[in-house]
Chains A and B, each alone.
Chain A
Amino acid sequence: MNKDWPIWEIFIRSKNGLDHRHAGSLHAADAEMAIQNARDVYTRRQEGVSVWVVESKHITASNPEKSGELFEPAKDKVYRHPTFYNLPDELKHM
């Protein structure tokens, strides 16, 4: 039997309207404990209004060795950025 608690990834939303961001990871026996631990470890200085926890094993990460084929082809395709539009003068704050 594995006696170590599983690792959980913690996501915290700092204010209403903002996205949850990855804050770090911690050990916990179950989801409820992960939320309580996250509250104690990551929100002591009023960092959050909402916490998501997910067991690390449920996250599938991209392979760093494949970063070439995954991300580099986008490099020379500047036309994918919306910088080729002429904005009308009336439109402010863009």
Chain B
Amino acid sequence: MEQKALSDYLMLLGDNPTILGQRLGELCGHGPELETDIAMTNISLDLFGQVRNYFQYAAEVMGNGATEDSVAMLRLEHEYKNALLVEQPNRDFAYVICRQFLFDVYHQLLLKELMSSKNERISAIAHKSIKEVDYHVDFSSTWMKRLGDGTDESNKRLSEAMGFLWRYSMELFEPTETETLIAEMSVGPDLGELKPVYLEKVKEVLNESNIELPEKTTFQYGGKTGRHTEYMGYILAEFQYMQRAYPNMQW
């Protein structure tokens, strides 16, 4: 029972950075500037590095011949438990930055809690990842301010992005059965406690960015229990292509 909760939790931890990393990877060669292109794909690589740590561990816990590759590449759509936020498309640079910012602030709070996890291996992964994620928060926060406090056009686009993406933010704090179980085992945090800290931090940056949260929001949930938006199938089709077309391919 505890093993099952642990492997489920490790996949949950790995799935957000996997799908966000894939979305950022789509920008490779398409960033608005050469330097920004490199920055976004760098963040993508940071995320995949963290994912490997989670999935290697998950594969060990699962046994039965599971590997980090089978965990990452060979699951079906409903078996991925990433939040809806990270699968949203790169509509324009404002969407990319806004999605990144909403995730980064959560990711940083989560890792800070996981650093004191009772599970030593998860704690070690969190210690290793936090420095990268601190940088991600710096990067996306400064871009939030730059776009929000930039020109009328950049402010308008960022407001639009926030107006659309905000509805996916609260799913991050809605505990699944696995997360509740994991919190009881003192392996992961009580997400309810992180939510007010998150809201405060987000509002602080939005204030400086001259961006307001939408007045009325119907929050969307589902990704963390395997019910995804229509984008997810396309992401996986591309992400899994090599392993599906050439099973067990190594490179």
Q: What string of 1s and 0s marks CB contacts (under 8 Å) between B134-150 and chain A?
A: 01001100100010000
Q: Is B238 an interface residue (CB 8 A)?
A: no
The minimal Cβ–Cβ distance linking A8 to chain B, given in whole angstroms, is 10
Stretch at the interface among B34-42, B64-72, B113-121, B123-131: B34-42
How many pairs of residues, A versus B, come closer than 8 Å at their CB atoms?
A: 27
Give the total of A residues in contact with B, Cβ under 8 Å: 13
Q: In the docked arrangement, what's the CA distance between A19 and B42, Å? A: 27
CB A89 to nearest CB in B, in angstroms, measures: 52
Query: Which of A28, A36, A41, A44 has the most B CB atoms < 10 Å from its CB?
Result: A36
Contact check: which of A27, A39, A44 meets B33 at CB < 8 Å?
A27
Give bound CA distance, A75 to B142, whole Å: 51
**A90 proximal to B (CB < 8 A):** no
Q: Which of A27, A29, A44 contacts B42 (CB 8 A)?
A: A44
Q: Are A36 and B39 in contact (CB under 8 A)?
A: yes
Shortest C-beta distance, B51 to chain A (Å), equals 19
In A24-78, the 8 Å CB interface with B consists of 26-29, 32-33, 36-37, 39-41, 44
Knowing A37-B35, A41-B35 are in contact, say whether A32-B42 is a contact too (CB < 8 A).
no
Residue contact A33 to B42, C-beta cutoff 8 Å: no
Could you name 5 residue pairs across A and B whose Cβ atoms are closer than 8 Å? Answer: A27-B33, A33-B142, A36-B138, A37-B39, A40-B35
Residues of B participating in the A interface, judged by any CB pair closer than 8 Å: 33-36, 38-39, 42, 135, 138-139, 142, 146
